[in-house]
Structure 1
């Protein structure tokens, strides 16, 4: 059975960032990102207001890590552990074997390579957890995200045609990138 985020040592440090699990004191900083509809054009959800965000924050705290740069909130790294798909007879071995990554960078910190730094650390965390596979997905128009996925060595595994319904009411193509943790370990 792979480890969970709770089994790892926190905080973690990258070249510029300190990452850790969320604390109640992070709520205002998180709302700065989550409450900005323009910045969340490609995210799964835009919150109507702070109350809706606060109601959902507890559920997301299990997978969303906060990142600080020189003491200033710089972004969020989602490391969502899931069960890998399996046939029924081997479903126990698939439990917790997949990590889905996602990232958001504060407006002030964009364009400085922090998304790449977050994604690399997400891959390192997944590898340390001992999961089998890491995935990240995006709308095809979100070129910043898929370029980050390529930059960190993830493989484009699918390009789906108009399978993702955007909140603007239009259907968009989607991309999924992945890496096996055995590949990540072989690289390092």
Structure 2
């Protein structure tokens, strides 16, 4: 009974600020290390007729897509007010190195991207699908497809499924984190 009430819980108690800091730091690290794989996958894909020739600076948009996709999962694991608080802390943490007006503008731009991403969520339902479509749209991948898919303006299903598989490695594992930690809001 005591264990049921959480009195003997082995979960580490953490505050939302620390969680946001860990979340952002680890996701930024995964993005920085993993974008090379995404870029190479897109640039060297046999399912595309031409090389989109993505450059290193394309990581900024990719980072936004990864964070937007991951923020969608907050509502699944937290109460509405907790998710809102954690989301605000995450945004502050993402842009903590910017000051004043630069920080404000960066957050505004992110919120604009979020509106676009919400439209994709309505259309494609799952964050991973929305992430893959956002990348397909933003990097103009349709322009590099064969004529059949180019005319349809739809991703080649083989390319799309491979992209979704790669993007799944950029999803934060809340189940694992919450199994080991308890957030004190």
TM-score with structure 1 setting the length: 0.27
Which structure shows the higher strand fraction?
A: 1
Pick the structure with more helix per residue. Answer: 2
Give the TM-score normalised by structure 2.
0.28
Of structures 1 and 2, the one with the larger relative CO (CA 8 A, separation 6+) is 2
When Rg is computed on C-alpha atoms for both structures, the one with the higher figure is: 2
